[in-house]
Amino acid sequence: MIDDINVEDVNEANMEDLCWLCVPVEKRHDPDFIKGVEDKKKWAAQMLRKWGSIAKLAYHNRGPVGMIQYKPVPDERTVHIDCIWVPPGQCLRKGIATRLLSSLMEDVKKPRSWFDKEPPFGLVTKTFPGEGPEQYSARDFFTGKGFKQIGEDPDYLYYPLRAGFVYRPFEKKEVKYVPQDEDKGKVLISCGPNGCPATYPFFLKRMEKYIREIDPEVSIRWIDSSEECDELEKRNIGIGDCIVNARLIRSFVLDKESFQKEVKEILKHE
């Protein structure tokens, strides 16, 4: 355990720390990661204006050593934890994540305007499977703190803050892309402000790379929601969606084989 850990709410003054914390030191001059950080800065500024509180940072010797990021979901009266992160290094397994989660749990007990000045019914999280060397898996961490599994998905978890509360997620509506004639014969990748600096370099640029491996000459258009929001709205798509030949790609990009197979099938019918 590290005793001299200070947990602070994220605000405009320390927003930079939140946005850069997840970026490896060796990637901090990479233009794709710089773009990812800029997207997160825009997102963080928007979210702070909307909710007032979106994340907490842990500090040790004046440097950021961990974060927990979250957002209220008023319709469910829950708070969703998007990410909890302690960078690789000497601070791993020192109780920092526990301090961050405990701080959030204490904080949400206070009256907030999010839920008519009442506390939420529970916390919800969807953990990302897999962990790095010496890292504790997010699922093991949360279940060790009393989080319960939701349905059949082992990475979908909740923690009741109200006696008897059982989380039942709202049924998500399937994204229905609205085809545009101008999208035929080309690729569209949507980007813009979002809560993870790795989204652009790790997911979106990977889409571009995998598609270029299939067809180096295909036209690829990037649509940034911060500049062309109307272009996303008329297609009914969001950040991270990929359109190929006027069809929405459903495969997850990290499953390279399935992603490229779907892209090939769609391009074949161009």
Q: Are 177 and 236 in contact (CB under 8 A)?
A: yes
Alpha carbons within 13 angstroms on the beta-carbon side of residue 145 total 22
Cα dihedral value 71, 73, 74, 79, nearest 10? -60
pLDDT at 211: 98
Beta bridge partners of 153: 150
pLDDT at 226: 94
- Strand stretches in 102-241, DSSP E: 122-126, 148-150, 153-160, 186-191, 219-224
pLDDT at 134: 66
Q: Looking at beta carbons, which pairs linking 11-15 to residues 24 or more positions away fall under 8 Å?
A: 11/48, 12/45, 12/48, 14/57, 14/64, 15/41, 15/44, 15/45, 15/48
pLDDT at 133: 64
pLDDT at 237: 95
In terms of DSSP bridges, do strands 78-85 and 186-191 run parallel, antiparallel, or are they unpaired?
unpaired
Tell me yes or no: is domain 6-160 CATH 3.30.450.40. no
**Digit-coded pLDDT (tens) for 113-126:** 899 889 999 999 99
pLDDT at 131: 63
Ordered by start, the domain boundaries in the chain are: 6-160, 181-268
Q: Could you tell me the mean pLDDT of each successive run of 10 residues in the chain, 270 residues long?
A: 85 96 94 97 96 94 94 94 88 86 93 89 88 76 96 94 92 84 96 96 97 96 96 96 96 96 88
**70 Ramachandran zone, left/alpha/beta (phi>0; psi -120 to 50):** beta
Angle at 126 between CA 27 and CA 48, to 5 degrees: 65
- Alpha helices (H) along the chain: 15-20, 31-51, 96-107, 138-144, 205-214, 229-235, 256-268
Domains 6-160 and 181-268 fall in the same CATH topology? no
Tally of CB atoms within 10 A around 118: 11
Tell me yes or no: is domain 181-268 CATH 3.10.310.30. no
